């Protein structure tokens, strides 16, 4: 098996992080292009692809990195210590991002993007450490997807009953995921009565990472590059079709991370991987066009944390009694540029450009922060 680092993975990771920063920092969410906002509930936009794509890429990267460490003689114990350390650091960074700048411990949100990444990393890393075989991963993937469907479709919500009997399937507030979060962490949920990174929905999010493990194993196989591209393409198309078919009875929903969402988003992630792998690894299309993506991709978590802290800072720093710094910049300059959605996008692009500066400084100094 090959353990050569794949440029296509780094480029795709960088693009994902850049787009993540872009959609997290619209000049004005209400005026932004529809594609640059998450779906309100059921449905799918390009923005809904960002998080599962990152988990998918993380799974691929884990296969590659574990292979390299094993080749260099790392023991299982050393690997385990590294896994636990990274998990703890990601959770800590997530809490810092959630609390910044006031750190009100009585209402501090415990769930979060980095916390979900941490949980998915921990589960996937332990699986990768235990076995590199494909079959257990496929079985586990199917078990999680079907099991989560059964959980949301047939398990009674205490005090309300079984979904579709008196209330609809995937009701925004009456579902077992939201009910569990309200009872575990009341007053600490992102949306008040529910949280898009809640406890139970970590299970299907882990499934998105599992898809990455499977893709990584496929890329490390002895098959030809052409066979790998074709296999990824066919798998991507199949997942999109199955996800769409399943969505008729189990809607695609990012905030609940439904099983149909896992497959649909995973399908598109796999097609993107096939395209970048073919373009960069097979056709050798490398050069300056990959540089900006590598700047983001080589320090992905660091850049993301910086962007979240910066976003919080400009939102809380008051320029005057009525406006934060973010509002002042947007309403003073960008809202007047063309249609409102264009102004919102230009603000987002400026924010990405600002985040690019420290990332570029790290990249030029060959400083790659591996958590």
Last-in-domain residue among 285, 302, 320: 285
Using one digit for the tens of pLDDT, what is the confidence trace for 307-342?
999 999 999 999 988 899 999 999 999 999 989 999
- Quick one: 10 and 24 in the same domain? yes
- Contact yes or no for 345/37 (Cβ under 8 A): no
Give the mean model confidence (pLDDT) for residues 19-28. 96
190 in a domain, yes or no? yes
Kindly state whether residue 43 falls inside one of the protein's structural domains: no
| Gap between the Cα atoms of 365 and 39, Å rounded | 39
**Same domain as 164, residue 18:** no
With a pLDDT cut of 90, the percent of the chain lying above it is: 91
Do residues 118 and 90 make contact, with C-beta atoms less than 8 angstroms apart? yes
Q: Which helix (H) or strand (E) holds 62?
A: helix 50-71
Same structural domain, 355 and 223? no
Instruction: Tell the burial category of 361 from Cβ atoms under 10 Å away from its Cβ (0-12, 13-18, 19+).
Output: exposed
Mean pLDDT of all residues in the chain?
Answer: 95
Structural domain boundaries, residue 132: 50-285
> How big, in percent rounded to 5, are the helix, strand and coil portions of the chain?
65, 0, 30
For residues 210 and 256, state if they share a domain: yes
Residues 111 and 146 in one domain: yes
Distance CA 76, CA 80 (A): 6
pLDDT for 58-86, tens place per residue?
999 999 999 888 888 888 899 999 999 99
Whether residue 219 lies inside any domain: the answer is: yes
Residues 305 and 223 occupy one common structural domain: no
pLDDT at 42 over 80: yes
**Domain check: are 246 and 350 in the same one?**
no
| pLDDT tens readout for residues 159-180 | 999 999 999 999 999 999 999 9
Instruction: Choose among 249, 143, 269, 268: nearest CA to 206.
Output: 143
**Residue 2, pLDDT score:** 47
Per-residue pLDDT, averaged over 213-235, amounts to 96
Q: Is 226 part of a structural domain of the chain?
A: yes
Model confidence at 1, in pLDDT bands (50, 70, 90)? very low
The pLDDT of residue 4:
64
Count of domains forming the chain: 2
Q: Is residue 281 part of a domain?
A: yes
Distance of CA 328 to the CA centre of its chain: 30
> 153 pLDDT exceeds 90?
yes
Residue 139 has pLDDT above 90, yes or no: yes
Q: In the structure encoding, which two tokens stand for residue 58, read together? A: 């993380």
Domain boundary pick from 285, 316, 337? 285
Tell me which residue has tokens 């230009």.
346
pLDDT at residue 141, as a whole number = 98
- Domain limit, last residue, from 218, 250, 285: 285
Percentage of the chain surpassing pLDDT 70?
Answer: 99
Q: Are residues 158 and 257 located together in one domain of the fold? A: yes
Q: Which two tokens stand for residue 343?
A: 């102004």
- Per-residue pLDDT tens for 186-210? 999 999 999 999 999 999 999 999 9
Query: Has residue 44 been placed in a domain?
Result: no
* Shared domain check, 255 and 300: no
Same domain? For 197 and 341 the reply is no
Specify if 257 maps to a domain. yes
What is the rounded average pLDDT of the residues 241-250? Answer: 98
d(CA 142, CA 358): 41
Query: Does the residue 45 lie in any domain?
Result: no
Whether residues 235 and 346 share a domain: the answer is no
The pTM score is 0.96
Residues 273 and 307 both lie in one domain? no
């Amino acid at each position: 098996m090959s353990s050569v680092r794949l440029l296509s993975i780094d480029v795709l990771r960088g693009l994902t992080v850049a787009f993540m920063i872009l959609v997290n920092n619209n000049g004005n969410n209400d005026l932004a292009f529809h594609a640059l906002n998450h779906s309100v509930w059921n449905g799918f936009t390009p923005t809904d692809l960002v998080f599962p794509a990152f988990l998918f890429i993380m799974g691929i990267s884990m296969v590659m990195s574990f292979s390299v460490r094993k080749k260099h003689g790392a023991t299982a114990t050393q690997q385990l210590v590294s896994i636990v350390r990274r998990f703890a650091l990601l959770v800590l960074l997530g809490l810092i991002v959630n609390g910044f700048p006031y750190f009100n411990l009585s209402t501090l949100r415990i769930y979060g993007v980095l916390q979900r990444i941490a949980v998915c990393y921990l589960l996937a890393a332990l699986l990768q450490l235990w076995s590199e075989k494909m079959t257990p991963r496929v079985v586990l993937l199917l078990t999680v997807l079907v099991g989560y469907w059964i959980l949301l479709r047939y398990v009674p919500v205490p005090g309300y009953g079984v979904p579709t009997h008196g209330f609809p399937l995937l009701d925004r507030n009456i579902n077992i995921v939201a009910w569990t979060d309200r009872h575990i962490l009341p007053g600490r949920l992102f949306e008040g009565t529910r949280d898009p990174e809640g406890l139970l929905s970590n299970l299907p999010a882990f499934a998105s990472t599992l898809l990455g493990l499977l893709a990584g194993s496929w890329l490390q196989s002895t098959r030809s590059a052409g066979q790998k591209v074709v296999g990824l393409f066919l798998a991507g198309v199949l997942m999109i079709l199955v996800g769409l078919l399943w969505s008729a009875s189990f809607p695609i929903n990012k905030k609940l991370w439904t099983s149909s969402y896992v497959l649909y988003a995973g399908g598109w992630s796999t097609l993107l991987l096939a395209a970048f792998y073919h373009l960069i690894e097979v056709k050798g299309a490398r050069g300056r066009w990959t540089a900006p993506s590598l700047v983001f991709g080589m320090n992905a978590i660091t850049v993301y944390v910086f962007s979240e802290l910066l976003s919080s800072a400009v939102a809380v720093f008051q320029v005057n009694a009525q406006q934060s710094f973010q509002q002042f910049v947007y309403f003073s300059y960008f809202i007047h540029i063309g249609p409102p959605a264009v102004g919102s996008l230009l603000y987002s692009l400026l924010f990405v450009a600002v985040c690019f500066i420290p990332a570029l400084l790290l990249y030029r100094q060959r400083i790659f922060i591996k958590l």
